[in-house]
């Protein structure tokens, strides 16, 4: 696909490239920099300064090498996710074996075994590599590929308990899009549980400080490179205030196109808070399962961030096989599958109708993106509920009886 005529088309699709990650804009930014014009003066370039220097070096490479870079990035992300899956599954099996006594007698059959999780890493590799969303983002040369790699590295070092690397990778990811900073919570929780540390505060303090120092020095370095803080308004302010209303798979563009101007500030806050709002309740509920917390945060960020693309979706879809053992407890798999399939098919059709044939309008495309987001929300809630049901079954047994009558578990 890289060498077919479709590459250009894919690169310019709104689903794949957003103002934040589009390779065309990176090229423009590098071109402006080489002509002695600050890319942050204009309105097209929204990458970070260190990213700018890196990409300007990357653009000096020949075309095959450039393509190779994106493929390598994707492969590295995939390897990270694979070993995340492997080590997490091993740890989960060990944990359940350890807790076997606490569980109900008749639920011993559903406890994870090594044979069950043996093939999970392989599934992760398949799911990530043969997922059309991640293929599209790699072909479309989106810079989210780089961000995904850093998040995957964070997760890997979290699983392995490499505190320092975890903070560094997380700082790099946050530097690119600040939404990633929420991963600091599951990382802390996971490392504490992994190392079975009794006193958690010093670890949290160390990790947050390391992360802060890394992020601070990255920002300071950027300031030194560009000689001013103007890049902040082009990157983070742009991310927060959503001035670019180009449609994407997210929910922001339509609301902010149609909104009365004086409500704008309120709704910016209301929309942006969604990414961080669920952190506290989920962290409390999933305190025993930080990996699931990290996964659901990744999915929630994809739904609620200001400029999402299918590349973010491809990333957390790659992690889905880790939750294979929750599959029997999930109820809406079929609905979610249909939703995602239909909306990703209908999206380009409706876009064509609206933008090229002028027979549709923005409502149709928004309807599709709304369905897309709804499907993702369904998926997250389904997985979370499945996890709770499984926990319940482990403790209380497979029989569902309430006062002698058969009962059903309902999410309320």
Partner 1 sequence: MMAAKTTARAMGLSTFLKSLFSLYLFLTLFSKSSVECFNLDDQFEEELLIKPLNNDFVYAYFQFTTTWDVPFEAKSFQNCHLFPRVLGEVLGQYSVQELHLSLTQGLWRHEKYGYPVVDAPAGTEIWAWFKEGTKDVNKSWKMLTSALSGLFCASLNFVEPHNTLSPTLSFAPTGAVPPGVHSNSSLLRYSTLPREVVCTENLTPWKKLLPCDSKRGLATLLNAGHIYNTNYHSLGIHVRPICKDISCESTAVELKQTVSLVYDMLQVGSLSRDWSFRKLFGQGLSGPCPLASSSRVYVDTTQNGSIFEFQLRPEPKAVLKSIRGGATSKIAMYDLKTMHLVSLLNIAATYTGEKLEHVNISPVLYANRYIIGYGQENGGIVTKVINNHWQPLDIVYMENIPWFLPVYLHTFQAEVNGRQLVPHAINFVPGRERERPYQLEVALRIPARSTTTLSITFDYIFLKWQEYPPDANHGFYVGAAVITSSLPVARNYTGVPHDGSTLLTRSVLIHCLRQIFLNQDKSFENSIIRFCRND
Using CB atoms within 10 Å of the CB of residue 128, give its burial: 0 to 12 exposed, 13 to 18 middle, 19+ buried. Answer: buried
d(CA 246, CA 362): 11
Listed ranges 38-46, 111-119, 174-182, 202-210: which one lies at the site for partner 1 (CB under 8 A): 38-46
Minimal distance in Å, beta carbon 26 to partner 1? 10
Closer CB to partner 1, 230 or 331, in the complex? 230
d(CA 278, CA 274): 7
Q: Which of 1, 4, 43, 287 binds partner 1 (CB under 8 A)?
A: 43
Q: Which of 201, 202, 356, 402 binds partner 1 (CB under 8 A)?
A: 356
Minimal distance in Å, beta carbon 22 to partner 1? 10
CB 394 within 8 A of CB 104: yes
What DSSP line would sit under 362-396, residue for residue?
A: HHHHHHHHHHHHHHHHHHHHHHHHHHHHHHHHHHH
Site string for partner 1, 261-300 (x = CB under 8 A): x---------------------------------------
Closer CB to partner 1, 24 or 160, in the complex? 24
CB 157 within 8 A of CB 165: yes
* Cα distances (angstroms) measured from residue 198 to each of 88, 96, 114, 337: 21, 20, 28, 42
Task: Determine, following the binding rule CB under 8 A, whether residue 72 of this chain makes contact with partner 1.
Answer: no
* CB neighbourhood size of 67 (10 A): 17
Minimal distance in Å, beta carbon 342 to partner 1? 21
d(CA 76, CA 44): 29
What percent helix, strand, coil does the chain show, rounded to 5?
75, 0, 25
Closer CB to partner 1, 24 or 400, in the complex? 24
d(CA 160, CA 155): 9
Site string for partner 1, 234-263 (x = CB under 8 A): ---------xxxxx-----x--xxxx-x--
Question: What number of helices (H) and strands (E) belong to the chain?
Answer: 20, 2
Minimal distance in Å, beta carbon 135 to partner 1? 22
Q: Which of 361, 395, 398, 409 binds partner 1 (CB under 8 A)?
A: 361
According to DSSP, the residues that pair with 405 across neighbouring strands are 402
Listed ranges 39-47, 199-207, 223-231, 281-289: which one lies at the site for partner 1 (CB under 8 A): 39-47
d(CA 137, CA 135): 5
Closer CB to partner 1, 107 or 309, in the complex? 309
CB 112 within 8 A of CB 142: no
Q: Which of 355, 395, 407, 411 binds partner 1 (CB under 8 A)?
A: 355
Minimal distance in Å, beta carbon 334 to partner 1? 32
What is the residue whose two structure tokens read 């003066």?
41
Q: Which of 10, 32, 156, 310 binds partner 1 (CB under 8 A)?
A: 32
Minimal distance in Å, beta carbon 318 to partner 1? 29
Closer CB to partner 1, 10 or 14, in the complex? 14
CB 334 within 8 A of CB 341: no
Listed ranges 46-54, 89-97, 121-129, 361-369: which one lies at the site for partner 1 (CB under 8 A): 361-369
Minimal distance in Å, beta carbon 40 to partner 1? 9
CB 376 within 8 A of CB 299: yes
Half-sphere exposure of 1 (CA within 13 A, CB side): 15
Residues near partner 1 (CB under 8 A) are 12, 14, 24, 27-28, 31-32, 35, 37, 39, 41-44, 243-247, 253, 256-259, 261, 354-356, 358, 360-363
């Amino acid at each position: 696909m890289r060498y077919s005529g479709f590459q250009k088309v894919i690169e310019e699709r709104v689903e794949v490239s957003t103002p934040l990650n589009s390779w065309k804009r990176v090229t423009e930014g590098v071109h402006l920099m080489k002509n002695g014009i600050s890319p942050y003066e204009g309105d097209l370039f929204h990458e970070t300064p260190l990213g700018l220097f890196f990409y300007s070096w990357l653009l000096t490479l020949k075309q095959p090498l450039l393509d190779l870079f994106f493929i390598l990035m994707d492969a590295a992300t995939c390897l990270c996710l694979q070993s995340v899956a492997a080590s997490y599954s091993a740890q989960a099996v060990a944990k359940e074996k350890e807790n076997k006594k606490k569980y109900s007698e008749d639920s011993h059959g559903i406890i994870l075994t090594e044979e069950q999780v043996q093939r999970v890493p392989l599934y992760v590799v398949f799911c990530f590599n043969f997922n059309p969303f991640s293929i599209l983002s790699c072909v479309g040369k989106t810079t989210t590929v780089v961000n995904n790699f850093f998040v995957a590295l964070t997760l890997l070092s979290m699983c392995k308990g490499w505190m320092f690397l975890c903070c560094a990778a997380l700082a790099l990811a946050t530097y690119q899009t600040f939404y990633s900073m929420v991963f600091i919570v599951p990382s802390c929780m996971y490392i504490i549980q992994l190392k079975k540390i009794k006193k958690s505060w010093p670890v949290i303090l160390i990790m947050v400080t390391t992360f802060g120092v890394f992020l601070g020095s990255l920002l300071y370095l950027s300031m030194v490179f560009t000689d001013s803080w103007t890049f902040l308004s082009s990157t983070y302010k742009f991310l927060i205030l959503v001035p670019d209303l180009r449609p994407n798979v997210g929910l922001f563009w339509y609301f902010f196109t149609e909104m009365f101007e004086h409500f704008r500030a309120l709704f910016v806050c209301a929309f942006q808070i969604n990414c961080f709002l669920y952190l506290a309740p989920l962290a409390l509920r999933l305190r025993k399962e930080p990996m699931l917390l990290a996964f659901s945060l990744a999915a929630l960020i994809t739904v609620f961030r200001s400029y999402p693309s299918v590349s973010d979706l491809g990333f957390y879809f790659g992690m889905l096989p880790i939750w294979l053992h929750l599959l029997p407890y999930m109820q809406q798999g079929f609905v979610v599958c249909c939703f995602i399939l239909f909306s990703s098919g209908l999206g380009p059709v409706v876009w064509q109708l609206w933008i090229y044939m002028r027979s549709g309008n923005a409502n149709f495309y928004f309807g599709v993106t709304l369905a897309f987001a709804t499907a993702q929300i369904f998926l997250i809630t389904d997985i979370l509920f499945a996890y709770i049901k499984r926990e319940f079954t482990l403790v209380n047994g497979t029989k569902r009886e309430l006062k002698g009558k058969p009962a059903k578990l309902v999410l309320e």
